[in-house]
Amino acid sequence: MNDKELQKEIVYLKNKQNVTILAHYYQSIEIQNIADYLGGSLELSKIAKEESDSEYIIFAGVDFMAETASILNQDKRVLLPNPESCCPMAAYLDAEMVREYKKTHPGLPVVTYVNSTAEVKAESDVCCTSANAVRVVKRIAKEFDVNSVLFGPDSNLADYAEQKSGIKCIKMPEEGHCYVHSQISVDDFKRSRDLIKDGLVLVHPECIREVRELADFVGSTAQMYDRVKNSKIEEDNFIIGTEEGLIKRIAEDFPDKHIYPIREKLICYNMKKHTLELIKYVLENLDDPMFEVKVPSEIAEKAIFPLKKMLQIS
């Protein structure tokens, strides 16, 4: 089957079986276009809980996203088409490390990025997204009456939250990072700006500080999408510093704008492990346990607290 035939068959199967397909912006355009909902990781998990009445949810994302969907939707079956689609950033931090950080920094609240494992969330006081990290850090520091927090696993987002909030963010660990966003350099910025002199540069807060400080806009995937969507008529050229899936989505949705990547081949290969063929196979084998992501209830009960707290703060 070619892609169009696969897409047609997938749409038929998911509608016939009342299955909801969620796809992250970093998926291929072919997968994005067959999804019921498209967006960022937490946004999609909330959609699964609030908008979908399906028993089965196929999540085209990475493992921590499927885990978050499972935490928020214990009554539903969350399926990950490729079980090997894991997030290297989330792997930088485990629950035992968090417990050790808490021992060495008693009294400080633990803020964890949603890009973390369920076990790490279960050890946290509050979670955050790249969109609300600054607000969450300010609120939790005020609640605990401290001027420092523990923050992980992304060190660049921790640096961004500290820079914007004025609250010290102790990195858990120092080396945690996203291999896609952290590779964007000042040279990439200068080269792209030299080529598109009036281009507005949009980057993710997971980028290094030197790049963020040069950019015209720093925001999450959804915020970058909305920045282009809501741009002024005279704003024609955008240089985007994030994974190519979002860049292609923006270019397809806003053909009147000129969209350029800040550098070539910004690809999350872990996200790209999902394929149309795999999604079709899962739809044909919904009860195969190898695809199900189920967070144990004892962990989910602990992990849901910091997620709900984040949503209250947001």
Domain hosting 11: range is 3-85+271-295
What is the per-residue pLDDT across 123-153, written as a single tens digit (0 to 9) for each? 999 999 999 999 999 999 999 999 999 999 9
User: Quick one: 68 and 103 in the same domain?
Assistant: no
Task: Give the Å distances, CA to CA, from 260 to 248, 263, 268.
Answer: 9, 8, 18
Boundary (domain end) residue, out of 146, 177, 208: 177
Boundary (domain end) residue, out of 177, 201, 235: 177
What is the per-residue pLDDT across 74-129, written as a single tens digit (0 to 9) for each? 889 999 999 999 999 999 999 999 999 999 999 999 999 999 999 999 999 999 99
Average pLDDT over residues 58-69: 94
User: Quick one: 73 and 144 in the same domain?
Assistant: no
Q: Record the tokens describing residue 85, joined without a space.
A: 């689609």
Strand pairing report for 37-39 and 148-152: unpaired
User: Quick one: 102 and 75 in the same domain?
Assistant: no
Which of 9-13, 47-51, 182-186, 282-286 is the least confident region? 47-51
Residue of 49, 59, 69 whose CA lies nearest to 14:
59
Residue 177 identity (one-letter amino acid): H
Residue 266 lies in a domain: no
Boundary (domain end) residue, out of 261, 279, 307: 261
Q: Where residue 291 sits, what CATH number does that domain have?
A: 3.40.50.10800
Distance from C-alpha of 294 to C-alpha of 300, rounded to nearest angstrom: 9
What is the per-residue pLDDT across 256-268, written as a single tens digit (0 to 9) for each? 999 999 999 999 9
Average pLDDT over residues 286-308: 95
Residue 312 lies in a domain: no
Residue 164, CA atoms < 13 Å, CB-side half-sphere = 21
Specify the pLDDT at position 114: 94
Residue 283 lies in a domain: yes
Specify the pLDDT at position 252: 96
Burial class (CB in 10 A: 0-12, 13-18, 19+), 50: exposed
Q: How confident is the model at residue 48 (pLDDT cuts 50, 70, 90)?
A: confident
Q: How confident is the model at residue 217 (pLDDT cuts 50, 70, 90)?
A: very high
Residue 313 lies in a domain: no
Specify the pLDDT at position 305: 96
Specify the pLDDT at position 43: 81
Q: Record the tokens describing residue 255, joined without a space.
A: 């053909």
Percent of the chain with pLDDT over 90: 91
Residue 300 lies in a domain: no
Residue 218 lies in a domain: yes
Specify the pLDDT at position 1: 81
For residues 113 and 152, is the Cβ–Cβ distance under 8 A?
Answer: yes
Q: How many domains does the chain have?
A: 3
User: Quick one: 109 and 53 in the same domain?
Assistant: no
Q: How confident is the model at residue 288 (pLDDT cuts 50, 70, 90)?
A: very high
Specify the pLDDT at position 46: 78
Average pLDDT over residues 270-294: 97
Residue 151 lies in a domain: yes
Residue 301 lies in a domain: no
